[in-house]
Amino acid sequence: MLVSFGCYGVVSLAIFTFGEDVAKERGRGWPRTLAATPFPVWVHLTGKAASAVVHAVAIVVVMSAVAATLGGVRLTAAQWLTLGATLTSGVLLFSTLGFAIAYLARPRAATVIANLVFLPLSFASGFLFPLGELPDVVGRVAQWLPTYHFGQLAYRTVMPAEDVAFWSGRALEPVWVHLAAVVGTALLLGAVTVWAARREAVTRRG
């Protein structure tokens, strides 16, 4: 539960911080205002990313403290650190999904679309219920989702292989498969976001 809800928390933070918030900024015309100033856009985005990382760390720390004190979770120091680093990285890995929503959707529709994307992703990735207890079709869909592969990486930091296999309802795959899926999706969505942002800039100038 600690790992599942940790994944749920950082992915939601990424999607809504970079999706909903950036879409609202677009709706208010903030990118146009920023482009007319000497203030670099990358500094603004770096600050937003840093803020999201801080919030992700807070989520991980609070949940870990509750799990340790009230849930009786016992891990080694190395496991706590590895789990924390893995979960925190999720906010950056899935930031490109948030940005894609922000730039591809209309600002007023971004919140609805973010929810329509996030909730099914979380359910089908096993963050809410073990995939081993859900219909097999959900497991077949899950293997194509980056959030599922992210969860697999997080589970492996603290859970025995047999527990991971039970939770996911599938035979274990090499770690590189999960890494390739998560990083590859992040890069692909990042490229889509850059294309959408440039298209909007050209349209605005035209």
- The band of 19, judged by pLDDT with boundaries at 50, 70 and 90, is confident
pLDDT at 163: 87
Do residues 19 and 110 lie in contact, with contact meaning Cβ atoms separated by under 8 Å? yes
Mean pLDDT of the chain: 87
pLDDT at 43: 75
pLDDT at 88 over 60: yes
- The band of 6, judged by pLDDT with boundaries at 50, 70 and 90, is very high
Domain that holds residue 77: 2-205
pLDDT at 176: 94
Q: What count of other Cβ atoms lies within 10 Å of the Cβ of residue 144? A: 11
pLDDT digit string, tens, across residues 145-160: 999 999 999 999 999 8
- Long-range CB pairs of 33-36, under 8 A, 24+ apart, other chains included: 35/201
pLDDT at 146: 95
pLDDT at 111 over 80: yes
pLDDT at 166: 83
Q: What count of other Cβ atoms lies within 10 Å of the Cβ of residue 57? A: 16
Sorted by sequence, the CB contacts under 8 Å of residue 171 that are 6+ apart come out as 165
The DSSP line for 79-97 is HHHHHHHHHHHHHHHTHHH
Read off the tokens for 73: 């979770």
What is the tally of structural domains in the chain? Answer: 1
